[in-house]
């Protein structure tokens, strides 16, 4: 109505009721006296392009095997938890490592190992609280971010994860040791950097592995992560 061309994306509805996204340009057309007589709209269906763009963004932020958030997303959320801890809101990070997972790959093949990892990703939804973030940061390592949780509640979540991991279905014909989970817990408070929180959780996980498989260890104070022999 102001006499300028408008361009943008809008969500529209087809005659069959389905929604689609269109790239829309609306141009005013003037008559001989200079008044706007009508408008010409040029539309292009960009639904598929938008879907592909969203898929690319999703792949950039999620693990392709388990569809869990990746390290990038975990670190972004850690920044937020770190800021909230400065305002007195407690949070904790759980670093979960699978016990004997290498045996599955060696004895039953990587396809069987991938299926175990997908099963682990599913079990987290039963063990964590609604709204907790679960991510895979590499290999058989997973992270759980517990906003508003202190050490006791974090340990309770870790115990649920450990118990469910110990009951995972194993590949048919697998004759190796049972797969389980060890968990290292870091309290976010008193840390200044996200890397420090991960290092503390890594050190706690080293404590758990050193004490035996299927263990849980908590570190309340910041610590540097050692390079433990369990990392294989």
**DSSP sequence for 34-95:** S-EEEEEEEEEE-HHHHHHHHHHHHHHHB-TTT--B-HHHHHHHHHHHHHHHTTT--EEEEE
Strands ordered across the beta sheet of 133-138: 133-138, 141-147, 91-99, 180-187, 216-219
- What is the C-alpha separation between 70 and 59, in angstroms, rounded? 9
- Reference 134, options 84, 77, 185; nearest CA is 77
Residues that are catalytic: 140
């Amino acid at each position: 109505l102001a006499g300028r061309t408008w361009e943008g994306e809008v969500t529209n509805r087809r005659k069959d009721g389905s929604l689609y996204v269109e790239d829309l340009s609306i141009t005013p057309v003037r008559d001989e006296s200079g008044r706007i007589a009508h408008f010409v709209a040029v539309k292009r269906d960009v639904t598929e392009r938008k879907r592909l763009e969203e898929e690319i963004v999703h792949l950039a932020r999620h693990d392709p095997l388990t569809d869990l958030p990746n390290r990038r997303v975990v670190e972004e959320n850690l920044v937020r938890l770190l800021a909230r801890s400065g305002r007195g809101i407690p949070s904790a990070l759980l670093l979960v490592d699978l016990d004997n997972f290498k045996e599955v790959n060696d004895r039953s093949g990587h396809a069987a190992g991938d299926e175990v990892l997908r099963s682990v990703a599913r079990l987290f939804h039963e063990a964590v609280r609604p709204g907790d973030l679960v991510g895979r940061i590499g290999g058989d390592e997973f992270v759980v971010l517990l906003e508003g949780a202190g050490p006791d509640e974090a340990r309770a979540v870790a115990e649920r994860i450990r118990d469910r991991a110990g009951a995972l279905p194993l590949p048919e014909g697998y004759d190796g040791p049972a797969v389980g989970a060890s968990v290292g817990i870091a309290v976010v408070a008193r840390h200044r950097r996200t890397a420090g929180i991960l290092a503390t959780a890594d050190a706690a996980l080293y404590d758990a592995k050193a004490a035996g498989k299927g263990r849980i260890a908590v570190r309340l104070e910041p610590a540097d992560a050692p390079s433990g022999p369990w990392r294989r």
